[in-house]
Amino acid sequence: MELKITCIPGDGIGPEIVAEAKKVLDAVAAKYGHVMRYTDILMGGASIDVHGVPLTEEAVETAKSADAVLMGSIGGDTTTSPWYKLPPNLRPEAGLLAIRKALNLFANLRPAVLYEELAGACPLKKEISAAGFDMMIMRELTGGLYFGERKTVEENGVRKAIDTLTYDENEIRRIAIKGFDIARKRRKKVTSVDKANVLDSSRLWRKVVEEVAKDYPDVALEHMLVDNCAMQLVKDPAQFDVILTENMFGDILSDEASMVTGSIGMLASASLNDTKFGLYEPSHGSAPDIAGKDIANPIATILSASMMLRYSFDLDQEADAIDNAVKSVLQAGFRTADIMSEGCQRVGCRQMGDLLTERI
């Protein structure tokens, strides 16, 4: 298979971690008989330095012409970088918002996995972390409270702010379909999270999700109120497979889930549209303070590349090869600085990429 991939190295440690992800992808291609076609584009601060804007129309068209996009990281030091003296619409992160909109990326996937070898970094009690967990937070990304009408008015001398939470059934249905499709590739369980005891939008959410579930008789569906879900994530995270939820709830729950893993350098993410197309990136930032020092952890980006193979190309065996390589490297005791623990061997960004490549 020929895989056309647009790469966005970005800023900070972005170029380093994307280079290691390409190295691993090339090893997968060589083993399984695929051809990787990479095209790099500029975005964020790197684009500002060259073009004066965080994302050009030409870059967007290049991304659209690919099968998937693999991204490193965007942004810099907000206190010292000249990028942050620009108007908000010209700062690095504006490019990320623009490309998400241009590519219609409405489904955000944030896995939260606790590797046995990194259980010591988990902030939960040992009797909870010992069970391990592997969940996928499926967040609707382009609707809800963040995109509804908003205004601030003054009534009778009192300031009042109004934010509108709106979802239509089509927006709910398309994210639900993605959630059930992904559950089929995992452990076949969906936990739909809402606030149906209070919100009309949640009652519609629940109704539409139940309609979609009828087309997936092999996938178990349960409903959970968002406040209970927040508690269950720290009480018994092992119970979750796919958590399907709306924009604001997903924003909050995905950050909570990432914290209980204890190692953000290991967390991948993806944003999908209504085809197989997706943008894949690590959950962490650009870490400008360590850029160019060969100490960044490339695993989150490499696991994002694994997600790309699985969800944009349906190459599950190839994705498994990457996931298993990560587990093998951790079991062998190799660690980058951010996940280093006593008795392990510290390696740099490039060496970690080499170790993973050897295990494909």
Q: Is residue 197 domain-shared with residue 133, that is, in the same domain?
A: yes
Q: What's the CA dihedral at 328, 332, 334, 335 to 10 degrees?
A: 70
The answer to whether residues 285 and 211 belong to one domain is no
Q: Please say which residue of 210, 235, 261 terminates a domain.
A: 261
pLDDT in tens, 274-288: 999 999 999 899 999
Q: Does any domain span residue 116?
A: no
Residue 142 domain-assigned (yes or no): yes
Residue 284 lies in a domain: yes
Note down the domain range covering 353.
1-110+268-360
239 with 272, same domain?
no
The single residue of 146, 185, 323, 338 carrying the catalytic annotation is 146
pLDDT at 258 over 90: no
Q: What average pLDDT score do residues 260-273 get?
A: 90
Is 115 among the domain residues? no
Helix (H, G, I), strand (E, B) or coil at 170: helix
Residue range 318-350, pLDDT digits in tens:
999 999 999 999 999 999 999 998 899 999 999
Residue 97 clears pLDDT 90, i.e. is over it: no
Domain count, the chain: 2
Rounded mean pLDDT of 118-128?
88
Domain boundary, last residue among 261, 291, 323: 261
- Residue 31 and residue 133 in one domain: no
163: β partners:
150
Per-residue model confidence (pLDDT) at position 341: 87
| Catalytically annotated residue among 115, 194, 251, 311 | 251
Mean pLDDT score across all residues of the chain: 95
How many other β-carbons are positioned within 10 Å of the β-carbon of residue 52? 10
Q: Has residue 278 been placed in a domain?
A: yes
- Residue 128 and residue 31 share a domain: no
Q: Are residues 167 and 78 in the same domain?
A: no
- One of 227, 236, 274, 320 is an active-site residue; which one? 227
The answer to whether 301 and 72 have CB atoms below 8 angstroms apart is: yes
What are residue 117's phi and psi, to 5 degrees? -70, -20
Instruction: Please give the average per-residue pLDDT across 306-327, as a whole number.
Output: 96
Whether residues 315 and 333 share a domain: the answer is yes
Catalytic-role residue among 11, 67, 194, 195: 195
Does 248 lie in the same domain as 182?
Answer: yes
In this structure, are 90 and 75 located in the same domain? yes
Active site residue 255: yes
- Is 227 assigned a catalytic role? yes
Q: Would residue 26 show up in a list of annotated catalytic residues for this protein?
A: no
pLDDT for the residue numbered 177: 96
> Is pLDDT at 252 greater than 90 in this prediction?
yes
Residue 136 confidence class, pLDDT cut points 50, 70, 90: very high
Residue 273 domain-assigned? yes
**Which band of pLDDT confidence, cut at 50, 70 and 90, is reported for residue 71?**
very high
Q: What is the pLDDT of residues 25-70, one digit of tens each?
A: 999 999 999 999 999 999 999 999 999 999 999 999 999 999 999 9
Same domain, 239 and 355: no
**Residue 354 annotated among the catalytic residues of the structure:** no
* 8 A C-beta contact, residue 356 and residue 322: yes
> What is the per-residue pLDDT for 94?
93
Distance of CA 261 to the CA centre of its chain: 14
Q: Which of 261, 290, 311 is the last residue of a domain?
A: 261
Say whether pTM exceeds 0.75.
yes
Could you say which of 40, 255, 323, 338 is catalytic? 255
Q: What one-character DSSP code corresponds to residue 83?
A: G
Residue 42 maps to which CATH number?
A: 3.40.718.10
Same domain, 17 and 106: yes
In a domain, 24, yes or no: yes
What is the spatial distance between Cα 184 and Cα 314, in angstroms, rounded to a whole number? 12
237 in any annotated domain: yes
8 A C-beta contact, residue 339 and residue 349: no
The two structure tokens encoding residue 242: 């796919």
Which pLDDT score, from 0 to 100, does residue 10 have? 96
250 plus 316 within the same structural domain = no
